Amino acid sequence: MPFKEVSPNSFLLDDSHALSQLLKKSYRWYSPVFSPRNVPRFADVSSITESPETLKAIRDFLVQRYRAMSPAPTHILGFDARGFLFGPMIAVELEIPFVLMRKADKNAGLLIRSEPYEKEYKEAAPEVMTIRYGSIGKGSRVVLIDDVLATGGTALSGLQLVEASDAVVVEMVSILSIPFLKAAEKIHSTANSRYKDIKFISLLSDDALTEENCGDSKNYTGPRVLSCGDVLAEH
């Protein structure tokens, strides 16, 4: 079993596993000065998507995991927007549907919406997540996927949508989790502990990242976002 239980029903891939080591090498985080959000360490998903080796290793690991499960998952559900980077490559290998959970103003058709939720970084107004009515239902066994599990606000919105759809959660998988925010513990104890049996798995802990993973441009003090004209003028 390559996972260790870090809190009840919350599992982290063992740091001796090759995938954990690959992720630790690939992940970049940025300080608030070089990131779009005011969080201590902004984990940049493009450091993963720009590493074909890492992306392929994530795919192969999760495909193998879900192929071995009986009963097998019937759907992969991805969170808007970064869950969309990982879900399809797994679903297509398993030959099961990839279902998008999207912000209300982006989703077509008849929708079910979650309660408003907040993330580690606050948006101007709380968001709601939606799923298309009927995209999953009774008998569906779903895996939820996202790049980062931080406070768990986003994950909880997905659990509400699965519950309302009368489907069953196999597990919630994140590529990276941020342990000090205690997402799994909070979700397990919220709403009269109705989600206490939800299993969380994470492939890497933010605790594993060091200064070596920092992507900040050292000694640079100019603007973070340059115009095309500014850059052309440098050539």
Query: Which residues sit at the interface with ligand ADE, rule CB under 6 A?
Result: 39, 41-43, 119-121, 148, 150
Is residue 154 at the binding interface for ligand HSX, with CB under 6 A as the rule?
Answer: yes
Distance CA 52, CA 224 (A): 27
Judged by beta carbon distances under 5 to 8 A according to partner kind, the member of ligand ADE, ligand HSX, none in contact with residue 86 is none
Do β-strands 10-13 and 3-7 pair in parallel, antiparallel, or remain unpaired? Answer: antiparallel
Q: In this complex, which beta carbon is closest to ligand HSX, that of residue 96 or of residue 150? A: 150
Q: How far is the CB of 176 from ligand ADE (least distance, A)?
A: 8
Q: What is the closest distance, in whole angstroms, from the C-beta atom of residue 172 to ligand ADE in the complex?
A: 15
How far from the centroid of its chain's Cα atoms is residue 61's Cα? 16
- Does the N-terminal peptide bond of residue 71 adopt cis geometry, omega within 30 degrees of 0? yes
Task: Tell which one of 73, 78, 87, 152 touches ligand HSX (CB under 6 A).
Answer: 152
CB of 135 to ligand HSX, least distance (A): 19
Q: How far apart are CA 144 and CA 184, in angstroms?
A: 14
Task: Please say whether the dihedral angle defined by the alpha carbons of residues 128, 131, 132 and 133, taken in this order, is positive or negative.
Answer: negative
Q: Assess 127 for contact with ligand HSX (CB under 6 A).
A: no
C-alpha span between 14 and 1 (Å, rounded): 9
Per CB under 6 A, 82 contacts ligand HSX: yes
Binding interface with ligand HSX (CB under 6 A): 79, 82, 119-120, 146-155, 183
